[in-house]
Amino acid sequence: MSRDEMSDLQGKRLHKLVELVYHNVPFYREKMQEAGLTPDDIREIGDIGKLPFTTKQDLRDNYPTGLQAAGQSEIVRIHASSGTTGNPTVVGYTRRDLEIWSESAARAFTAYGVTKNDIFSVGYGYGLFTGGLGAHYGVEYVGATVIPTSTGNTDKHLRLLRDLKVTGIACTPSYALYLAEAMEKNGMTRDDISLKIGAFGAEPWTENMRHEIESRLGLQAYNLYGLSEIIGPGVSYECECKNGSHISEDHFYPEIIDPDTLEPLPYGTVGELVFTTLTKTGMPLLRYRTRDLCSLTDGKCGCGRTNVRMTRIIGRCDDMLIIRGINVFPSQVESVILEMPEFEPVYLMVVDRIDCLDTLQVQVEVRRDYFSDELGEMLRLRRRLADKLKSVLSISADVKLMEPGSISRSEGKSVRVIDRRQLT
């Protein structure tokens, strides 16, 4: 498809999208009215700059379904990601959205070279997290055999890889390394398995990790990018050239902006990635700020595809951490600790990668007069905090009880996170 044809298609879809949200989502109607806009002002893709942005905070403020454009009877699936202060981000999908999602994910697997002759193991978590089901539907759409392995049972996973001669795997890059380690510990080598394609995403990774995964598992490793607010895995994907991830821009229109001035930036410049969901009808979003930093490239790729590519995510413009593929904000930890009078209102999160798996330790100070003389009570207190953290963060954290005053305080911006993971 030529650039002109693509822009024309995007413009038409954007107009339809704006009409949909103007008439069905009060949040967007009010924002557009404030800006003096009606759907007729948005005719082509170049008009997108007139539209308001959407932030994660807007999703929280409109919790749970305030940004939904479709009525509840049209919604056939709900996913949710963890959110700060206990409010998860809820995303409703219509049947059409699921089709768009499956097709987008299928494009990714097709680009990796997956065919109906492949057997694919999906090692992302199944559940509220979009990783598992998103990859699952993509593989199934291509016609390959899908094994919904999910996370957790590494020994069984290895056994299935070997015995079923599995040819492809989708999981986080850190889990791929963990699998490689477990395989070597079990006395297996890459020659005992038949993997040739790996679809990795849900957390940042590097070229060095790619080389390590490829050599230890004997496969070709490709990036799979997505976020649940937009749809899930399949928003963009690498091809055999491994030179940037192709964005399905007929469904998800990308922009790069300066996160401070909110001005659009030209291709090739690093800035915040913004997506508009051109075709979604469940919870469509206008100019959603992902907080991910990267740059965009256009022009024909070596593989022949002409859709826009994005570079690797090089960082975040907020304090979000991605731990075991799950988004974690320090403010979530803070909200839990502030609710418990037994602790001082300070904390330190130590993130590390041990044996290829992310770990999170939360250090808290026990209040001077608030601890118990009984060990059992103290252990129960620690357990109580760990349970609360788990329910808010969706990942387990190791709680370390500290003496009051032992976590450093500083005026202004204090250090709340130490990330020891070496992403090299």
Partner 1 sequence: MTIKQISVFLENKTGRLNEVTKVLAANGINMLAFCIAEATDFGLMRLIVHEVDKAVEVLRNAGFAVILTDVIAIHCPNRPGALSKILESLAENSIFIEYMYAFAQSERADVIINPNDREKCLRILEEKHADIL
DSSP string, 92-152: EEEHHHHHHHHHHHHHHHHHTT--TT-EEEE-SPPSSSHHHHHHHHHHHHHT-EEE---SS
Which listed residue (378, 386, 395, 417) binds partner 1 by CB under 8 A? 378
**Choices 21-29, 163-171, 193-201, 399-407; region in contact with partner 1 by CB under 8 A:** 399-407
Which listed residue (1, 35, 314, 379) binds partner 1 by CB under 8 A? 379
SS3 of residue 189 by DSSP = coil
What's the min distance (Å) between Cβ of 400 and partner 1?
A: 5
Nearer to partner 1, 46 or 405 (CB): 405
Which listed residue (334, 371, 417, 419) binds partner 1 by CB under 8 A? 371
What's the min distance (Å) between Cβ of 88 and partner 1?
A: 31
Nearer to partner 1, 376 or 412 (CB): 376
Nearer to partner 1, 229 or 365 (CB): 365
CA 66 vs. chain centroid, Å, equals 22
Q: Does 373 bind partner 1 (CB under 8 A)?
A: yes
Q: Does 368 bind partner 1 (CB under 8 A)?
A: yes
Structure tokens at 254: 């990308």
Q: Which amino acid, residue 227?
A: L
Contact yes or no for 250/5 (Cβ under 8 A): no
Give the DSSP H/E element, type plus range, for residue 169.
Answer: strand 168-171
Whether the bond between 266 and the residue before it is cis, its omega within 30 degrees of 0, is no
Q: How many residues lie near partner 1 (CB under 8 A)?
A: 18
Q: Which residue has the tokens 């979000």?
A: 320
What's the min distance (Å) between Cβ of 323 and partner 1?
A: 20
Q: Does 407 bind partner 1 (CB under 8 A)?
A: no
Which listed residue (367, 386, 416, 417) binds partner 1 by CB under 8 A? 367
Sequence-distant (≥ 6) Cβ neighbours of residue 12 within 8 angstroms: none
Q: Does 402 bind partner 1 (CB under 8 A)?
A: yes
Question: Contact residues for partner 1 (CB under 8 A)?
Answer: 366-369, 371-375, 378-379, 400-406
